[in-house]
Structure 1
Amino acid sequence: MNKGKCERGPDCKFKHSLQAEGESNSHQRRGSGNANSNRSTECWFCLSSPKVESHLIISIGEHYYCALAKGPLVEDHVLLIPIGHSPNTLSLPSECEIELGKFQDALKQYYKKQGKDVVFFEWASKRTTHANLQAVPVPSAKSAAVQNIFNLAAEKLGFKFETTKSGNNSDGRQMLRTQFDRNLSFFYVQLPDGTILSHSIEENERFLPQFGREVIAGLLNKADRADWRNCTDSKEEEAKMAGDFKSGFEEFDPNK
């Protein structure tokens, strides 16, 4: 794909898409309203942008929308994306959190009907221009192993997750918001049993942009799909997958 413009300039070779955890110029300063509007116009995640791949969209709310992931790791891998141009989901207003919680609860019900649980994760990089919270279904039989494999992967990179347990999604998200430091990049995982793994990433720390996806790919024995760019489908195939998801999700969709 060769669409849109990148804040890195015309020499950028990155293939932008809904799945890309896009990195913009880390020194981009807050500009005028026009500058922000221009970024939103060119952003692949902004719902108002002509660049958005609308055939991937599943459901649209007031503050968030749900879309099929580009180059999905597994079938029914989706993203929860703020409609407004925001670099992460943790600094958005409380009304946005309420709607996000409804989306997450609906996805849990949808996957449960298939005998699966869901793992949510977000890489809130300082260089990310538009947030996306990823939702990856895993067979319920493998749910108990998710925490262990994430901890092992963290150990290999030389860090340990901060682990918290919450009784409900709302409390868990509130804890994450208090842990989040906007001056640092931040990665977290919401596990099926309510456990949350989080890690603040120091400026010079080695961290893999697709860490979350790579870990789950290892758990599911899908190492060949660890990089979304190796999982391309035609637009027609993507539209069919999105349509199939939408049909099955309709009974749980909080926007219906």
Structure 2
Amino acid sequence: MAAKVIVLGSVNGKLAPAFQKLGTLHSKNKFSFAIVTGDLFGNDDDDESITQLLNGHIKVPLSTYFTVGTAPLPPRIVERLETSPDEDLCENLHFLGKRSITTTSDGIRIVALGGNLDTSIVGGQSKEQLLPYHTTSDATSLRGANKTDILLTSIWPAGVWEKSITTLTPENQAAVSSTKEIADLCAAIKPRYHFSSSPVGFFYEREPFFYSSAVDETSTDKQVTRFISMAPFGNPAKAKAMYAFNVQAGETASTIPHGSTMSPFIVKSGIKRGSETVTNEGGYSRFGNGTNHHDGRHSKRRHHLPPTGPSQCFFCLANANLETHMVESIGDSSYVAAAKGPLPSSNFFAENGLNFPCHQLIISFAHNATIREIALDPEAEDPNEGLKTYKEMARFRETMQAMVAKKSKFKLGAVTWEISRANNIHLHWQFLPVPIDLVRRGLVEAGFKVEAENRRYPAFQTQELDSAIDHVGDFLRVWIWSDDGDTGIQGKELVLHIDDSSRFDLQFPRKVLAKLLQLDNRFRWQDVVQSTQEETESANQFKEAFKPWDFTRET
């Protein structure tokens, strides 16, 4: 039978209102137990409220677990815990300890690691369970906790927001404490839920993420983690501070949930940090040699394969869940589809002859991250498949450019962009019309260059990479094109070489164009997703407009 769990954000000493609210919810929902993330007590706790809690005047309505937060526990709480043989602070309020593995009466396995990381201690595990810090060894010692249902930490795993489309504002990201040690722990034990606490008034729930083992289509054991950070209880912003869910002990998903991403903690094999070798799962093997116990050919192939298999990839035609109503033209090596959550609305370009968003994706058939990877794929049936794919994708781009110019009576140009990265999932380009005035006045080019400078990215270069089959390294490529019907066609290719050591925002091109088109309120695609009917209508309108240029219709 599944356990019904409720999780609270940092209570910060608001004991009476928090447990009163919890009691009200429990009377209606009959929770199995509760968990408090972050700090149960505040820095300046009312001594009277602690007295009422310890004397039983503040009732804890159900079994509630807590650990050390980032603030010191009040002296009276420390005194009570030091003299309590069962680590119960009072009836129904259970202290997990700073570093612990606990199994509840429902069989739910909770791994807890409280406090901030103290890097000054290098000699092993901390021996004091009540102080708000932990060591690297504390985190490492918990990595053997297999089949973890819930991981509870006071601070975040570093980089958990990467590979995610869930927005974390720069201000909130700066406020968060995060460490590689917590990330490594999460990657090692693969909990079903990982709860932490937000230091200020915001709630953060990342998309579920899975690990490379989950991509094995023959496996029925899909290890998926959900990371959730609770806002403080009673925060002025009224951000979510309580979260309820059901969990079955030891159960794993049979399928990867829709919208999941690969684990943000997975890095390339064979990259060494000091004397340790990073494994595929983001954990460490001190005696590893960077191999994965396959023969050389398959080992090399595995390192270059995107982690998600074709049956789970949203861009693969082999995916049974592919939204086929958005597919608009299919070639021999690639196809065109409407973008989910298009930047322009359906009527944005109406005055220019387009009654649909015309935000398009050009997608390769091959389930590879880059053109170069397709070309170097030792298992490809055609050794020229990489070049053929590039040429056909370029042809789609050129014909859509011609369509946009003609339909708009030469009032629209176009921007196409490609983010070529070895750790991408599936190769695709994005295409978007823009007013020709923005192109001819140099504002599109300036917009990309200025925004790159503001973000301290490497400078854009005017460079023609062609297929980029021989190009080594990650890059962003932007094609800027226009035809005014008078002076002729003008085109420019801008390339920004992406530094492996820095984080690159995959939404960077969309954000630049959102500013240029004054569509800042639509830059998050999740906020502007059309209904299925609207998507179908937009796709059909594109197909009708594209007919004269659609070379796939040729017989």
CA contact (8 A) 1:125 1:185 kept: yes
Aligned to 1:98: 391
Query: Deviation of residue 249 (structure 1)?
Result: 0.7
Q: How does 1:36-185 map to 2 (within 5 A)?
A: 39-74=309-344, 75-92=357-374, 93-113=386-406, 114=408, 115-144=411-440, 145-158=443-456, 159-164=458-463, 172-174=464-466, 176-178=468-470, 180-181=471-472, 184-185=473-474
Alpha-carbon distance change, 69 to 6 in structure 1, aligned in 2, over 3 angstroms = farther
Gaps spanning 5+ residues in structure 1: where?
Answer: 165-171
Is residue 2:188 matched to residue 1:188? no
Task: Name the Cα RMSD after superposition.
Answer: 2.8
Query: Deviation of residue 234 (structure 1)?
Result: 1.0
> Which structure dedicates a bigger proportion of its chain to helix?
1
CA contact (8 A) 2:370 2:422 kept: no
Aligned-partner Cα distance in 2 for 1:220–1:83: 31
Aligned-partner Cα distance in 2 for 1:23–1:112: 39
Aligned-partner Cα distance in 1 for 2:511–2:519: 9
Instruction: Give % identity.
Output: 27
Aligned-partner Cα distance in 1 for 2:541–2:318: 24
Aligned to 1:240: 537
Alpha-carbon distance change, 205 to 38 in structure 1, aligned in 2, over 3 angstroms = closer
Q: SS of the residue aligned with 1:194?
A: strand
CA contact (8 A) 2:306 2:369 kept: no
Q: SS of the residue aligned with 1:250?
A: helix
Alpha-carbon distance change, 231 to 247 in structure 1, aligned in 2, over 3 angstroms = same
Measured against aligned partners, the alpha-carbon deviations of 1:199-253 in whole angstroms (never above 9, x if no partner) come to: 2212221321100110011110001111211111111111111111111111111
Alpha-carbon distance change, 38 to 152 in structure 1, aligned in 2, over 3 angstroms = closer
Aligned-partner Cα distance in 2 for 1:120–1:56: 19
Query: Deviation of residue 41 (structure 1)?
Result: 1.1
Query: Deviation of residue 124 (structure 1)?
Result: 1.7
Per mean C-alpha deviation after superposition, the further-off stretch among 49-58 and 95-104 is 95-104
Aligned-partner Cα distance in 1 for 2:538–2:547: 14
TM score, norm. by length of structure 1: 0.83
Higher relative contact order, structure no. (Cα contacts within 8 Å, ≥ 6 residues apart): 1
CA contact (8 A) 1:121 1:190 kept: yes
CA contact (8 A) 1:26 1:126 kept: no
Q: SS of the residue aligned with 2:371?
A: coil
Q: SS of the residue aligned with 2:310?
A: helix
Q: SS of the residue aligned with 1:41?
A: coil
Identify which of 250, 256, 259 aligns with 1:16. Answer: 259
Aligned-partner Cα distance in 1 for 2:319–2:447: 37
Aligned-partner Cα distance in 1 for 2:468–2:551: 24
Q: SS of the residue aligned with 1:195?
A: strand
Q: SS of the residue aligned with 1:66?
A: strand
Measured against aligned partners, the alpha-carbon deviations of 1:151-184 in whole angstroms (never above 9, x if no partner) come to: 10111111211213xxxxxxx4527444x32xx4
Query: Deviation of residue 105 (structure 1)?
Result: 1.5
Alpha-carbon distance change, 195 to 42 in structure 1, aligned in 2, over 3 angstroms = same
- Over alpha carbons, which structure has the higher Rg? 2
Amino acid at match of 1:83: F
TM score, norm. by length of structure 2: 0.40
Per mean C-alpha deviation after superposition, the further-off stretch among 56-65 and 109-118 is 109-118
Q: SS of the residue aligned with 1:197?
A: strand
CA contact (8 A) 1:157 1:207 kept: no
Give the aligned length. Answer: 238
Gaps spanning 5+ residues in structure 2: where?
Answer: 1-207, 213-222, 228-256, 269-279, 281-298, 345-356, 375-385, 482-489
Q: SS of the residue aligned with 1:174?
A: coil
Aligned-partner Cα distance in 1 for 2:322–2:210: 14
Query: Deviation of residue 73 (structure 1)?
Result: 0.8
Aligned-partner Cα distance in 2 for 1:216–1:187: 15
Aligned-partner Cα distance in 1 for 2:499–2:307: 30
Query: Deviation of residue 143 (structure 1)?
Result: 1.3
Aligned-partner Cα distance in 1 for 2:446–2:306: 41
